[in-house]
Amino acid sequence: MSRLSFRLKLLLTMLLVVAGGGVATLLVTQQRVQETFEHLYQQQFRRQLAYFSELQEARLEATQAQCLKLTQSEAIVTAFSQPEPDAAKLYALASQEFNDTGGPRRSGQRGPAAIAPRRDGVAFYRFVTPDGKAVLPPEPPNTRRYTPTFRSRLNNQATFLASAIAAPAVQQIAYMSMEAETDEFGTNPPGPLRPRAVTKGPPPPEEPRRGFQEVLLTEVLSADKTKTLGAFLLGLPMPDLLPAPAPAEKNTPGQPAGIRAGMLYRGRLYANPAIISDHAGSELVEALKLELGPTARSEGEFNLTIEDTPHRVFFHLMNPGSFFPPAYQVCLFSMAEAAQEKYSIRWKIAASSFAVLLGATLFGLALTHQISAPLKRLTEGTHAVAQGNLDFRLPVRSKDDLGRLTLAFNEMAEGLALKEKYRTILNIVADEKIAHQLIHGNISLGGELREISVLFCDIRNFTAHTQNMPPEAVIEMLNEHMTRLTGVVKAHNGVLDKFVGDLLMAVFGAPLHHENDAENAARCALALTSARTELNLTSQHQLAIGVGIATGTVVAGCMGSQDRMNYTVLGERVNLASRLCDSARAGEVLIDEATRAKLGARARCHPKGEVQLKGFDAPLQVFRLEAVDPVPPPV
């Protein structure tokens, strides 16, 4: 990543932000769709519960009152007060209250229309004793007798019914299956208890009926209301578990598609097989067992995949507080529509995200070009300045941050050019080595003792040679002469101290020290004479020079006033080098004893004996330098 260009990094960052936004939008939208459908299904389930409760209340309101009226009648209480309840009288009284289709008698009206909008009638009714045993009506003549199996099933729940009758409530609602193997109250044969006509041949087998019924238990109390004499059980068919679809309204969705309902009772699901198959029902029951848990929750909801289709499952306890086994209304909502909607939204968001990503790519390319192009030019400018092209300038094409950065670069380049100009001028007026040390602060103001070699070079007979020359010609001649000699001094690690007219002063060993400063000075002096000789071959001015060298300890440093200072050296050795230069003839190089000692045996010198020099009390030993042998190669 670090090797990628800035433009590519910026573009990738933009694309990642756009892609991340698209993914986040997709996740949030899918979650919102899921929540919307779950909320819609929850509302539908609540509407279904409300519908069932209203229908149940409408069905039971008159029926409960009719059952209380029946069980509180003097005739029923008298029939139950006998040692053996009078079954014939009990069922005769019940038949007077309920017609053949199960509707209560009210104002001469027959049928169930008086109690509920359904016309299914009463499924059955039974009388039971306080110990829970069923009181069967007498078998009329010319009817099929009750089989022993049927009679046994009538009493196999006696203990359970006895406990229910002993409960404090006078009336309780229970739910039961109409299948023979789970029959709670001995309701087979199906339908209201009526004698069957005699038929030829053996009686047909008792076929179990698939379905579910609602049972109303009403206790029969003694006249003083202190003793329970028995109970009356009235079975009513269950209404539809699903309400009719809501009428279509403008901009209002109707009932969600894919709703399936059933009843969970004693670990079994009772539903129309055409709506919920046996395989799907078994999966649903297992999931409901896990959700209900040991505490038997009263209601809840969860997600479940059945037959490869996601569903939302709702369950609600239909008989809370009842002594009878709990019965749950279960509603199964298919989430296929939600999945399809999420799939459709996923592709729509993906398509829109791709379009946005493509647009962001094009916009990012344009934007990154606007950013990277000035940065690229700045990089090129930086390299140009680093290579010494201080005249390089960048065009300022905007007033934003990049424009201000470009302007700052141009100002920096101008400042560097000005500083370089100052440095060049400083190198012209002072030796570049001294200038470098001054710029970097390596030379402190004041002086220090240094051991150096000092060289003076002067033109012989300069006054006689230039007395008839115009000033411009003299300056031109000196510039030509000094330019050539200055190059020789620099080539031998010498520092040009100053020019005084036709005189050149060079220092070897200050401000930078070398191990062979005396040798550098000697070789430089010989090279100066050779350079002047070569220059005479091409120049119109034939000049001769004399050179003097002295070695020893001097004071070196910046000297002058507070406003202007020069780096120079002072001391007796400096004066000696100047006097040796004055004494040298044309083309001659004179050195002192200290310099000859520094050169050692490699210096080929001719002693000139003791010479009395101006400014020195005693004569000094002077040598004429002829040559300096090269350093022998290592053995």
pLDDT tens string 249-269: 433 343 444 577 888 888 888
pLDDT for the residue 194: 36
Q: Which residues contact 294 (CB under 8 A, 6 or more apart)?
A: none
C-alpha 450: how far from its chain's center?
A: 68
The per-residue pLDDT for 240 is: 61
- In the block, tokens 């092209």 appear at 389
pLDDT at residue 56, as a whole number: 73
Residue 174 pLDDT = 81
Show the tokens assigned to 55.
Answer: 């229908």
Instruction: Give ∠ CA 566-570-574 in degrees, rounded to 5.
Output: 120
Looking at residue 181, its pLDDT comes to 38
Stretch 190-217: mean pLDDT, rounded?
48
Q: What is the pLDDT of residues 459-490, one digit of tens each?
A: 999 988 888 889 999 999 999 999 999 999 99
- Picking from 283-292, 329-338, 541-550, which range would have the lowest pLDDT averaged per residue? 329-338
Contacts of 225 (CB under 8 A, 6+ apart): none
Whole-angstrom Cα distance, residue 535 to residue 537? Answer: 5
| Mean pLDDT of all residues in 547-562 | 86
- Rounded Cα gap, residues 611 and 608, in angstroms: 8
* Whether the predicted pLDDT of 631 surpasses 80: no
Flag whether pLDDT at 171 surpasses 90.
no
User: What's the mean pLDDT when you consider all of the chain?
Assistant: 76
Residue 101 is which amino acid? T
At 157 the pLDDT is: 59
Distances (CA, A) of 371 to 10, 385, 570, 582: 10, 21, 60, 69
pLDDT digit string, tens, across residues 503-553: 999 999 888 888 889 999 999 999 999 999 999 999 988 999 999 999 999
**Residue 191: its pLDDT value, please?**
34
What is the pLDDT averaged over residues 357-366?
A: 74
Q: Tell me, what's the pLDDT at 5?
A: 66
Q: Rounded to whole angstroms, how far apart are CA atoms 622 and 610?
A: 6
Burial class (CB in 10 A: 0-12, 13-18, 19+), 164: buried
At 476 the pLDDT is 92
Q: Which of 337-351, 397-411, 424-438 has the lowest mean pLDDT?
A: 424-438
Query: Which helix (H) or strand (E) segment is 428 a member of?
Result: helix 401-429
Q: What is the DSSP letter of 349?
A: H
| Confidence band for 149, pLDDT divided at 50, 70 and 90 | low
Which architecture characterizes domain 443-628 according to CATH? 2-Layer Sandwich (3.30)
Residue 104 has pLDDT above 60, yes or no: no
pLDDT of residue 75 exceeding 50: yes
pLDDT at residue 524, rounded to an integer:
95
Tell me the mean pLDDT in the region 95-112: 49
pLDDT value, residue 211: 59
Mean pLDDT to the nearest integer, 208-214: 58
Query: How confident is the model over 592-607, as a mean pLDDT?
Result: 90
pLDDT band of 121, cuts 50, 70, 90? low
Using pLDDT thresholds of 50, 70 and 90, give the confidence band for residue 372: low
Position 284: which residue type?
L
- Is there a contact between 332 and 261 (Cβ–Cβ < 8 Å)? yes
Give me the mean pLDDT over the 56-61 stretch. Answer: 76
- pLDDT > 60? residue 84: yes
pLDDT above 70 covers a percentage of the chain that reads 76
Residue 576 has what pLDDT?
93
Residue 103 or residue 581, greater confidence: 581
pLDDT of 271: 80
CB 311 within 8 A of CB 285: no
State residue 553's pLDDT score: 92
Domain residue limits, the chain: 1-71+336-372, 72-139+150-192+211-241+256-335, 388-427, 443-628
pLDDT at 363 over 50: yes
Percentage of the chain lying above the pLDDT 90 cut: 17
